[in-house]
A = this chain, B = another copy of it.
Amino acid sequence: VARAVRTRLLAGRIVGVDHDPGRCAEALARGLVDEAVPDVAAVPWGEVGLGVFCTPVDQIAAGVLQAAPACRHGTVLTDVGSTKAAIVAAVEQGLPAHAAFVGSHPLAGSDRSGPAHASELLFRDRVVVVTPTGRTPGEALERVCGFWTALGATVRHMDPAEHDRAVALTSHLPHLVASALAGILPDALRGLTATGFRDATRLAAGDPRLWEAIFLQNRPALLEVIGRLQDRVVEFKKALQTGDRSALLTLLAEGCANRTALDPPSPAG
């Protein structure tokens, strides 16, 4: 975020927050931030126009609620968490009247993290979901939408619970499946993996603690889509057990059609 903001000259001053002094030093050295502080309490909130919380999802609400009382009127707080309902509910329950929070989830990321992998293009042509509620001030929502748009993203408004149900399928389930697949690979077969296994399991390299928190914050929706995947795998299994070529072909063709619709192949040549 800092890199993208910096490149576009969208902030007069950027303050980074990280409990790891090494990471603070690196962010400063790479010119990502103007100042780096070790915790939320050390941020000069009275001077902040926009605060973006990028902690693990189970720490976002607490961070926002810690910052809010120190904010001036007009400061807008947002986040980048992969879950929204629990965060938005916890924040709205404790937010002082003068502070404003808008939940955000940029559908952008990488299997790499840290200042060394910062990219000003991370949000370009990506979708950012924002999840306003009846309590979200209109100006705060506009400010947050304008911010993501300025970073090159397309903003989409959703209800927090609707967001969580959607990303359970499009983001959390793929992570779970990638992790399950990687988890059952015996060491002896490592040398027999090719691009396919690597693509299908790439997500599994994500930080286990971050994903534990995401999964636990989205339990009901995630359990629901796990059930849908299990049913689909059972359909494949039955088609194989009975040698039902037509059922097998239908299952594969549906997967192929859905995948191809996502990502039209580049023109030949």
Contacts and interface: CB of A to CB of B under 8 A. Distances in A.
B171 A259 contact: no
A236 B180 contact: yes
Contact of A183 (B177, B179, B205, B258): B258
Given A174-B181, A174-B201, A269-B116, A109 B195 contact: yes
A97 interface: no
Given A112-B265, A197-B174, A260 B205 contact: yes
A14 B177 CA distance: 43
Interface of A: 107-112, 114, 116-117, 126-127, 129, 156, 166-167, 169-171, 173-187, 189-209, 211-212, 215-216, 219, 222-223, 225-226, 228-230, 232-233, 236-237, 240-241, 243, 245, 248-249, 251-256, 258-263, 265, 268-269
Contacts of A205: 256, 259-260, 263, 265
Given A109-B196, A166-B192, 13 more contacts: A107-B193, A171-B194, A174-B197, A175-B196, A182-B259, A183-B232, A184-B229, A196-B202, A197-B262, A204-B259, A212-B248, A219-B241, A222-B240
B268 A198 contact: no
Contact of A193 (B180, B194, B262): B262
Contacts of A237: 223, 226
A238 to B, nearest CB: 10
A238 B173 CA distance: 15
A228 B162 CA distance: 32
A137 B247 CA distance: 41
A267 B112 CA distance: 11
A225 B156 CA distance: 40
